[in-house]
Amino acid sequence: MSRPEPLARPLHPTLLRLDDLAAHLGHDDHVLAVLGLGSAGEETHRFDEHSDIDVFVVVDSASTKQRYQQDPGWLAGFGGRVAYSFANDPNGRKALFEDGLFVEYAVFTPDELADLPVVGARVVWSRDGRDLLTGAPPPSPTVLDTVDVHLDEALTNLYVGLHRELRGERLTAMRFIQVYAVDRVLALVRLDPASRLDHPDRFESTRRIEQADLPTDLPLPRMVPGYERNADAARAVLGWLTTHHATDPAITRAIRQLLDQHVQA
C-alpha cells in the first residue's frame, strides 16, 4: 500500500495578496504572468510575518513594460494603499504599503525573462497556462569558487583590513575583516560536504546561517563583534581558518605580526 502524499502547507495569509494581485492584473490582456520569488516562490513554507513579497510581472511588449513602470497604480491589486515607493532598478521598484506590506517588483517582457537565470520562481498565474520559466540556467560554479581561493581571499582580507585599522581607517577595516573575510568563511562552510544549510540563498550567503547544521563551530559573535573590535574579529577569523584549513605560513605569520602591532599600539 503506497504512503499518502503529505498535505501541502496552506499559504500565509499575507502571501495570498499575491493571488489578489494576479487576479487584478489578469484583466489586462497585455499581462502574461505573475511570478513569485524567494519565500513567495517555490519555498512558500518560509514565508512569515517578517517576509516581503518579491514578484516579477511579465508583459507582452516594451511599451507595456514602460506603462507599468511609469504608473504603479496597479499595485492597488495587492489591496491597501502605497505609502512609500522608489525605483531601485531599471526594471522595477520597492514599495511599502500603509499596513506594513513590503513589496519588491520588476517588470519584464518574455525575451528579457528568458535571459535571466531565474531560480526558485513560482508561477502564481499565467495567461493560457503558458510556461515562461524556460530562461537561462543558473551560472555554473567557476574555477574561483574553490576552497583554496576562498581561504586565500579570507587571509588577504584580514591582512589588508588590519593594515587599515593600524592606519586609523576603522570603518573600511571593519568591512574587510568582519564582512569580506567572513563572507569567505561562509563560502568555505558552503563548500564543506558535511554542512547542511537551511535553504541556501545563491545571492546572499548570510541568509539562515544560524539555522545551518555545521560540522564545526562557527563563532559568529566573535567574528563579527563590531566597529571597535576589528583586531578581536581578525583573531577569531584567523583562528577558525587555521583550525579548519591548512593556511599558508607566510600570510598567516604576516597577519599575526599585524595583530602584535595592534597590541603594542
pLDDT (tens digit per residue) in 72-82: 999 999 999 99
Amino acid sitting at position 94: K
Instruction: Please tell me the distance from the alpha carbon of residue 229 to that of residue 101, in angstroms, as a whole number.
Output: 36
Q: What's the whole-number average pLDDT of the chain?
A: 85
Could you tell me the sign of the dihedral formed by the alpha carbons of 182, 184, 189, 190, in that order?
A: positive
Instruction: Please tell me the distance from the alpha carbon of residue 66 to that of residue 63, in angstroms, as a whole number.
Output: 5
Instruction: Please tell me the distance from the alpha carbon of residue 244 to that of residue 150, in angstroms, as a whole number.
Output: 13
Q: Is the pLDDT of residue 172 over 80?
A: yes
pLDDT (tens digit per residue) in 90-104: 999 999 999 999 999
Instruction: Please tell me the distance from the alpha carbon of residue 100 to that of residue 53, in angstroms, as a whole number.
Output: 11
pLDDT (tens digit per residue) in 102-115: 999 999 999 999 88
pTM for this one?
0.68
What pLDDT was estimated at residue 133?
Answer: 73
114, 134 contact by CB (below 8 A): yes
Instruction: Please tell me the distance from the alpha carbon of residue 58 to that of residue 110, in angstroms, as a whole number.
Output: 6
pLDDT (tens digit per residue) in 186-196: 888 887 665 55
